[in-house]
Amino acid sequence: MAAKSKKRLSNVENKLFKLDNLQLRDVICPICQSILIQPVTLPCYHSFCLNCFNGSIENNALCCPLCRLRIGSWLRTSTKQRSVVNSRLWNHIQTKFSHEVDIRSNGEDITLPEETVRPRLSAPGEIRTEYEAELKRLRNERFQLEQKQFEETELLVK
């Protein structure tokens, strides 16, 4: 499980962040709208500040604050391995955005340019596709349950 988690994190770094081309808008926490401090990258590839993530976990169920993916088992595994913080991403942020990190570490808010904070919107049709996939999964699950109950009833009748 640990190897999968590390592989998943390295994939997200390669795919989404291209760490050499990291821009300020790529390292903004969606919760506090400031630069990521000790970023936590979840299995769904969403990243949050460690403090924001901990606050979200304390107040909500064990799921991603953005997409609601359940992260309970991932969190237990990562906590045992003491690898919740995405250290490669954190090192790059500290190197490339040291001024912003220093300002935020001193407890001050950094002023971000207007275009840096971008709204997170679903692509056209994305929600419907997700809804239909979930509906199909639930129908399949119900069909399998009914099939199992039918087979058990047939065994009792014989």
Q: Helix, strand, or coil here: 121?
A: coil
Take residue 52 and report the two structure tokens written for it.
């924001």
Beta bridge partners of 40: 48
Q: Give tens-digit pLDDT for 64-106.
A: 888 888 888 888 888 888 888 888 888 888 888 888 888 887 7
pTM score: 0.59
Contact 11, 84 (CB under 8 A): no
Element (H, E) at 39: strand 39-41
- How many residues comprise the chain? 158
Contact 35, 110 (CB under 8 A): yes
Confidence (pLDDT) at 115: 58
Q: Give tens-digit pLDDT for 121-134.
A: 778 888 899 899 99
